[in-house]
Structure 1
């Protein structure tokens, strides 16, 4: 019997969330490098195909098999479209037009969509004023960190920014849709494997037809390392963590990772590259921390009067 979902996260769930933010935060960096030599659909195909291969090999090595449940594969194909094929392509296209920092701030709207979608489509993840206020505070924090000029709609980037927003809506829908696999008894590793196989099959004919990748020059080592990082860290490992978090803490909590992605990106830049944290970075992180505290709810509960008194 599966354990009930803990909608108020404990230390284990917060640890997964932070690790996942590092994995996905790196994806914007890897994309920016790889798009110098690979067109968007081909890059998405490489990312998904390599990830699917790794997951299949791991399943075979550990002697696991996909469940034989009626309706499982159609559900996995729909999840793959919402969680991989469509948003990966939209973000890859967008980053040919806009910087990775702007893509990450737009990606941070995902939990706002997540609260709305979960409120409309689920019976046990309804929006509360604290949760909605926390998401808005978190998005404001990301906006403060990135800077006031990030959301500039001039210069022909409107379509790219709308593509990012469309991708985040897909992620929110996928987060809620992915809950059904837990009810079916399909484990996170099996869901991740199935959706990556399905996503590869969805994107394969489109990439081959539109971009004819066999005509492209052989990419350099820098690009190959970026693709490997995308496939191994930002996809294979990340999706296993993601579905584990959905199983343990629910879809809305899992989508909070997008608020932390810009934070981890800036902190990594400071610790690894020696970049300097500016006052707006600290202010943005404070807003995000306040937003996460509001969504978690425990800090607010401490200041509420006891109804028994």
Structure 2
């Protein structure tokens, strides 16, 4: 399969996996605090990646380690906690929708900070996608007035981290295989994650019961598929496509997340469905070659 076809396969699979991650975080929060959900997600993924990718670390050159570290913090460490806190206060589907700011931020940061060129058509497509996102957010806020929408800032902050992460990988780690980047990311944040668990009293206060057992189950599924495997696939997608295309997955994620949200009792209006169609049109225009 050629790269032009394969990149679309990766995009669809990632949208399904990451779109399901929000409901998994929501379920995990039923028995654990946001900080512990974020930390255990990272720690579980780290163990898995070290087991399958430890030998790939030798491919990381000395001068590349600092960029792997920046990528780890901005693309994994901080977002894991920020999204957990966001979903503790707003619907999981809304949090996924706010993540759609990532392609816009990627384009702007890529142009202003990393010197990447972009076409007017790409900007036009992203703006259309953002218009659809704004409709979704506005309607969500109208339907759920009692939710803490200050927490909605956290996914937007995460999207800035994702945007820097994608551009860092594209510019400085393009010659490094995806498994090495992903494994390096998690190896570097194992100690900070353990410190978070220690400082928040996890090891001294954690109680293993039916509720926490269920939460841990959701975290394991989230870590293996939504973090470990998906991260490797995403880094591969960045290599075979552009930063803007790879982050377009964040336009498709809300569609999957909203479906899960409906199944879990969250509300969705016809207007939000139409906004989803607008988002898909934006994705198409942002990635159309001519």
Which of the five TM-score ranges fits, normalised by the shorter chain? 0.7 to 0.9
What's the secondary structure of 2:59's corresponding residue? coil
Instruction: Answer yes or no: is the 8 Å Cα contact 2:74–2:162 preserved in 1.
Output: yes
1:224: which partner in 2? 216
1:167: which partner in 2? 158
Residue 276 of structure 2 is aligned to residue 285 of structure 1: yes
Instruction: Give per-residue Cα distances to partners, 1:161-195, cap 9 Å, x unaligned.
Output: 22221111111111111124544x32001101110
1:201: which partner in 2? 191
Higher deviation after alignment, 92-101 or 28-37: 92-101
Compare CA radii of gyration and give the structure with the larger one.
1
Residue 9 of structure 2 is aligned to residue 19 of structure 1: no
Q: Counterparts of 1:1-309 in structure 2 under 5 Å?
A: 10-59=4-53, 64-67=56-59, 69-123=61-115, 125-145=116-136, 148-150=139-141, 157-183=148-174, 185-220=175-210, 221-267=213-259, 279-298=270-289, 301=290
Q: RMSD across aligned C-alpha pairs, in angstroms? A: 2.8
Q: Please give the alpha-carbon distance, in whole angstroms, between the structure 1 residues aligned to 2:288 and 2:166.
A: 21
- Looking at secondary structure, tell me which structure has more helix per residue: 2
Q: TM-score normalized by structure 1?
A: 0.83
Unaligned stretches of 5+ residues in structure 1: 1-5, 302-309
Q: Please give the alpha-carbon distance, in whole angstroms, between the structure 1 residues aligned to 2:209 and 2:150.
A: 28
Q: CA deviation at 1:158?
A: 4.3
Q: Please give the alpha-carbon distance, in whole angstroms, between the structure 1 residues aligned to 2:201 and 2:148.
A: 22
Q: Please give the alpha-carbon distance, in whole angstroms, between the structure 1 residues aligned to 2:154 and 2:261.
A: 26
Q: Please give the alpha-carbon distance, in whole angstroms, between the structure 2 residues aligned to 1:275 and 1:162.
A: 20
Instruction: Answer yes or no: is the 8 Å Cα contact 1:41–1:211 preserved in 2.
Output: no
Cα–Cα, structure 1 residues 30 and 170, in superposed 2: closer, same or farther, change >3 Å? same
Instruction: Answer yes or no: is the 8 Å Cα contact 2:42–2:80 preserved in 1.
Output: no
Instruction: Give per-residue Cα distances to partners, 1:44-74, cap 9 Å, x unaligned.
Output: 22111111111111135xx645325213333
Instruction: Answer yes or no: is the 8 Å Cα contact 1:21–1:257 preserved in 2.
Output: yes
Q: Please give the alpha-carbon distance, in whole angstroms, between the structure 2 residues aligned to 1:219 and 1:107.
A: 33
Instruction: Answer yes or no: is the 8 Å Cα contact 1:181–1:187 preserved in 2.
Output: no
Q: Please give the alpha-carbon distance, in whole angstroms, between the structure 2 residues aligned to 1:115 and 1:172.
A: 8
What's the secondary structure of 1:218's corresponding residue? coil
Instruction: Answer yes or no: is the 8 Å Cα contact 2:25–2:84 preserved in 1.
Output: yes
Q: Give the length in aligned residue pairs.
A: 287
1:304: which partner in 2? none
Instruction: Answer yes or no: is the 8 Å Cα contact 1:134–1:293 preserved in 2.
Output: yes
Q: CA deviation at 1:117?
A: 0.7
1:306: which partner in 2? none
Q: TM-score normalized by structure 2?
A: 0.88
Q: CA deviation at 1:144?
A: 3.8
Higher deviation after alignment, 204-213 or 46-55: 204-213
Instruction: Answer yes or no: is the 8 Å Cα contact 1:138–1:292 preserved in 2.
Output: yes
